[in-house]
Amino acid sequence: MSRRPVIAGNWKMHNLQKEAIELTNGIMQELKSEEKSTLPEVIVAPTFTSLYVVNKAINDCGCGKVKLAAQNCYFETKGAFTGECSVEMLKDTGCEYIIIGHSERREYFGETDEMVNKKAKAILLNGLIPIICCGESLEQREAGVTDYHISSQITKALRDLTSEEVSKSIIAYEPIWAIGTGKTCDSVEANRVIAMIRNVVRKLYDTTTADSIRILYGGSVKPGTIKEQMAQSDIDGALVGGASLTADSFVQIVKGAVACGV
Ligand code: 13P
């Protein structure tokens, strides 16, 4: 079963519009000589305020090598929800993917598994693809409850989704202790957890669904780590934070994935 790899850059709360445009153009410029069919799915996730201009830069280039994602959404369609953006609004700005359940949203903004599930449903209903994040804290890892915690997060996130919807979704395994710390999770261990997640999907659905869903690793991914990560059996790509903020390091990660036989 071959799954198309994904390299996604989560810019978090960085970049004014001008910087976001420059970064996008820089990435596309560096990918110019790459054959599109050999590339992974390359995704950038700017802040809400830069979605419009980044989408415009992508369309102006016309190379079709970079796709747009939002970092969050709200699950209701419209109404009195001050400060929120619906999936339809994000689709309107050109988003094809939306990151949900990131540990920073869970920790600082109270996003629960139930909200992640509602968001996943709203995203899929609108024809977009959710990038569903999960991951354990250091305390959970040290207490030996990593697999239990992640199985629970995934089971709740996927509740009531069809196998067809799950097959096209993306999961990102991001151990919280590896995010922004420079401490990358050992590739073999990341692969073990990701294979465990795939097994959860197999039990909830079937082998075809488990073999179709793409599961990424995130947490201090760097140009120097990607090849080993992509060489693992179950790691289908990366969700990159810090190293996605310069075109050079992000494209090195994309090319590292290509080198692993995308
Ligand atoms: P870093 O790559 O900076 O560790 O961030 C990972 C992340 O949170 C991506 O969503």
53 belongs to a structural domain? yes
Q: What is the mean pLDDT of residues 38-66?
A: 97
Distance 84 CA to ligand 1 centre (A): 23
Total domains present in the chain? 1
Q: Cα 174 to chain center, whole Å?
A: 10
The ligand 1 atom nearest the CA atom of 103: 8
Tell me the pLDDT of the chain averaged across its residues. Answer: 97
Least Cα distance to 120 among 166, 79, 53 occurs for 166
Least Cα distance to 74 among 136, 147, 142, 126 occurs for 126
* Digit-coded pLDDT (tens) for 174-223: 999 999 999 999 999 999 999 999 999 999 999 999 999 999 999 999 99
- Please report which confidence band the pLDDT of residue 261 belongs to, taking 50, 70 and 90 as the band edges: low
Q: What is the mean pLDDT of residues 62-85?
A: 97
Cross-strand pairs, 214: 170
138 belongs to a structural domain? yes
Q: Are the C-beta atoms of residues 73 and 123 closer than 8 Å to each other?
A: yes
128 belongs to a structural domain? yes
Distance 180 CA to ligand 1 centre (A): 6
25 belongs to a structural domain? yes
65 belongs to a structural domain? yes
The ligand 1 atom nearest the CA atom of 219: 4
17 belongs to a structural domain? yes
The ligand 1 atom nearest the CA atom of 99: 10
Picking from 28-37, 48-57, 123-132, 135-144, which range would have the lowest pLDDT averaged per residue?
28-37
- What is the residue range of 200's domain? 6-259
Ligand 1 contact via 101 beta carbon (within 6 Å) = no
Residue nearest to atom 9 of ligand 1 (CA): 241
Q: For residue 238, is pLDDT > 80?
A: yes
Residue nearest to atom 2 of ligand 1 (CA): 241
Q: Kindly tell me the burial class for residue 2, based on how many C-beta atoms sit within 10 Å of its own C-beta (0-12, 13-18, 19 or more).
A: exposed
In sequence order, the 6+-apart residues with CB closer than 8 A to the CB of 194 are 173, 215, 217, 232, 234, 235
Q: Measured between alpha carbons, how far is 74 from 249 in angstroms, rounded to an integer?
A: 31
CATH of residue 128: 3.20.20.70
Q: What is the mean pLDDT of residues 137-155?
A: 98
Ligand 1 contact via 135 beta carbon (within 6 Å) = no
215 belongs to a structural domain? yes
Q: Are the C-beta atoms of residues 38 and 19 closer than 8 Å to each other?
A: no
1 belongs to a structural domain? no
Q: What is the pTM of this model?
A: 0.98
Least Cα distance to 130 among 16, 43, 39 occurs for 43
Is-catalytic flag, 149?
no
Single out the catalytic residue among 76, 139, 174, 189.
174
Assigned token pair, 7: 């390299």
In sequence order, the 6+-apart residues with CB closer than 8 A to the CB of 90 are 51, 70, 73, 98, 128
Is-catalytic flag, 174?
yes
Q: Are the C-beta atoms of residues 113 and 150 closer than 8 Å to each other?
A: no
Q: For residue 262, is pLDDT > 60?
A: no
